[in-house]
Amino acid sequence: MPGVAEAELLARLRAGDETAFAAVLDRWSDGMLWLARDFVSTNESAAEVVQDTWLAVIEGIDGFEGRSSLQTWVFRILVNLAKRRGLAEHRSLPFSSVLPADDDSGPTVDPSRFQRSDEPYPHHWRSMPAPWPAPEQALLDSELGARISAALDELPRRQRIVVGLRDLHGYTAAEVCSILEITPANQRVLLHRARAALRGRIEEYLATDMPSDDTEGQPAP
């Protein structure tokens, strides 16, 4: 509910305002479903986690103490329920241990794309990255959207969750750290590596698959 102060929203939810509840459900449920799916085995199971989360919110809203934002509180409930369900399905591990230690280290871009120290412009790009499409173009390009979706699926789990919360669902760095209980430094590294990987896939698409606008040498109409 844009423009509505959290205190007012909280008061309305505690008063049983169905319109306020429907508004936050509509705004947050897609992100909640997406996040839950990374901890459980099926889409149906993720949907049940979201449903259980909203039931827990309804039952516990009077006990919300405001130590975090309301949204962060709701998502923490979701993560805890999703982890519990995932463990019951023999599929989930604690968020802090789902990846090997070296996942957050190493270069984010292939070093060969930069000039060596003995070349004319050391450490500069050999060739500049392909320009990104305008946001409206990317949204309209279903093939590019499919490529990005596939690239997201290939990311290590923690990178996928962080970049999804930040770039797909619009949460701030502080909110992601609070929801996932990770440090700001860890959040930055995971986000940077995920964005670098996604950018690489987009560059591949722009370089090889998009139709060329170059009409040089073509006969005039």
pLDDT band at 127 (very low <50, low <70, confident <90, very high): low
- Angle subtended by helix axes 173-180 and 184-208, to nearest 10: 110
* CB of 76 closer than 8 Å to CB of 178: yes
First to last CA, the chain: 53
Res 168 pLDDT > 80? yes
How open is the CA angle 210-211-212, to the nearest 5 degrees? Answer: 115
For the chain, percent of residues with pLDDT exceeding 70: 68
What pLDDT, on a 0 to 100 scale, did the predictor assign at position 217? 45
Predicted TM-score (pTM) of the model is: 0.64
**Rounded percentage of the chain residues whose pLDDT exceeds 90:** 34
Q: What domains appear along the chain, each with residue ranges and CATH number?
A: 6-92 (1.10.1740.10)
Banded model confidence at residue 216, pLDDT cuts 50, 70, 90: very low
Between 211 and 148, name the one with better pLDDT: 148
Q: Can you tell me the distance from the alpha carbon of 49 to that of 29, in angstroms, rounded to the nearest whole number? A: 11
* pLDDT tens-digit series, residues 52-103: 999 999 999 999 988 888 988 999 999 999 989 988 886 445 555 544 444 5
For 138-158, the pLDDT digits (tens) are 444 667 667 778 888 889 989
Q: Taking a C-beta distance cutoff of 8 angstroms, is the pair 138, 144 a contact?
A: yes
